[in-house]
């Protein structure tokens, strides 16, 4: 694929896609909670720009509503709520080490990106070439979110992994199909909102029940030897 052969709008979308993937890598590497939350908010900003681009290029008016929802939820509400939690739980000084070493995790994430490209190979002819790239990128963002949930031990970091997975899903929907039908978009946004609130409640429950937000302490439920 020759990048300069594409229309300008698609070039912009591809650039945004690569930046979103880049923020996913940043999330993986970031060891301070505030840095993590800020990076997550930046990923939201990029997602918002991509949505606006798609809405303007393909003249899909309902995407403006999705863009507004993204801006409200993922750039402002969720980062704001997480920041407030971190302050109230007094954990903002904590630095986290990544399970398995950060180099290994980075290599793992690289492999996931290659894997995503491999997975979308069969999708051809149907669509513009750039779509295959953007779907691969969105799948990579989802998988890196999963990797983050696996490799982080702090509940807050796991939540950010979870939410960044959701960003990947949203991105896949807007680039491959110019957004899901409105009723689905609203439903998904509602689910994300409720999930964000529930996570907040859970932080306090975990803190009160276990005395730490380190999920390593969540190890009472095992098979057989209770």
Partner 1 sequence: MIYLYLTLLLPLAGTLLLALIGQQRTAGWVNLLFTIATFAASVRLALEVFAQGVLLSPGKLFYVDAFNVYLILLNALVGMTTAIFSGPYMAHELKIGRVDAGRMRLYHAMYQGFLLTMLVALSTNNLGVLWVAVEGATLATVLLVSLYRTPKSIEAGWKYFILCGVGIAQALFGTVLVYFAAERVLPGSDEALLWSVLHQRAGEMDPAVLTLAFVFLLIGYGTKVGLVPLHNWLPDAHSEGPTPMSAILSGLLLNIALYALVRFKMLIDPAIGTNLAGSMMMGFGLLSFTVAGLLLHRQQDVKRLFSYSSIEHMGLMTFAFGLGGPMATFGALLHMIVHSLTKSALFVTVGHVSHVAGSQSIEKIRGLIHTQPVIGWCFLIATVALAGFPPFGIFASEFLLFTATMKSSPWLVIPLLSGLAVAFAGLFRHMQRMVYGDAPEGQVAVKANMWPVILHLLLVLWLGISIPAVLVDWLDQATIMVVGKGVL
Where do contacts with partner 1 occur on this chain (CB under 8 A)?
A: 119-120, 122-124, 126-127, 135, 138-139, 142, 146, 149, 155, 158, 162, 165-166, 169, 172-173, 176-177, 180-181, 183-184, 187-188, 190-191, 194-195, 198-199, 201-202, 205-206, 208-210, 215, 218-221, 223-224, 226
Taking each helix axis from N to C end, the angle separating 78-88 and 182-210, rounded to the nearest 10 degrees, works out to 0
From CA 51, how far away is CA 8, in angstroms rounded?
15
Backbone angles phi, psi at 65, to 5 degrees: -65, -45
With CA atoms as reference, report the closest residue to 63 among 76, 74, 49, 77.
49
Q: Which residue has the tokens 């890598």?
A: 25
Kindly state the tokens that stand for 38: 């800020």
Residue 47 CB, nearest approach to partner 1 (Å):
15
Residue 146 CB, nearest approach to partner 1 (Å):
6
Residue 122 CB, nearest approach to partner 1 (Å):
4
From CA 89, how far away is CA 78, in angstroms rounded?
16
Residue 162 CB, nearest approach to partner 1 (Å):
6
Residue 220 CB, nearest approach to partner 1 (Å):
5
> 103 vs 183, which CB is nearer to partner 1?
183
> 36 vs 103, which CB is nearer to partner 1?
36
> 12 vs 169, which CB is nearer to partner 1?
169
DSSP classification of residue 23: H
Residue 4 CB, nearest approach to partner 1 (Å):
26
> 2 vs 208, which CB is nearer to partner 1?
208
> 4 vs 96, which CB is nearer to partner 1?
96
> 16 vs 142, which CB is nearer to partner 1?
142
From CA 77, how far away is CA 71, in angstroms rounded?
9
SS3 222: coil
Where are the strands (E) in the chain, listed by range? none
28, 148 Cβ separation under 8 angstroms: yes
């Amino acid at each position: 694929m020759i990048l300069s052969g594409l229309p300008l709008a698609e070039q912009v979308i591809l650039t945004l896609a690569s930046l979103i993937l880049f923020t996913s890598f940043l999330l993986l590497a970031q060891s301070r909670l505030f840095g993590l939350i800020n990076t997550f908010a930046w990923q939201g900003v990029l997602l918002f720009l991509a949505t606006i681009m798609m809405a303007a290029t393909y003249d899909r008016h309902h995407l403006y509503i999705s863009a507004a929802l993204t801006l409200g939820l993922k750039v402002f509400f969720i980062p704001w709520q997480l920041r407030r939690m971190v302050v109230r739980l007094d954990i903002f000084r904590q630095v986290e080490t990544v399970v398995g070493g950060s180099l290994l995790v980075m290599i793992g994430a690289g492999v996931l990106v290659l894997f995503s490209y491999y997975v979308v190979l069969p999708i051809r002819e149907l669509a513009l070439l750039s779509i295959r790239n953007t779907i691969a990128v969105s799948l990579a963002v989802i998988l890196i979110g999963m990797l983050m949930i696996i490799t982080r031990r702090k509940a807050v970091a796991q939540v950010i992994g979870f939410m960044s997975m959701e960003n990947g899903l949203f991105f896949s929907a807007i680039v491959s199909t110019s957004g899901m039908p409105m009723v689905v978009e609203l439903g998904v946004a509602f689910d994300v909102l409720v999930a964000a609130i529930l996570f907040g409640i859970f932080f306090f429950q975990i803190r009160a029940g276990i005395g730490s937000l380190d999920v390593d302490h969540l190890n009472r439920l095992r098979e057989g030897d209770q």
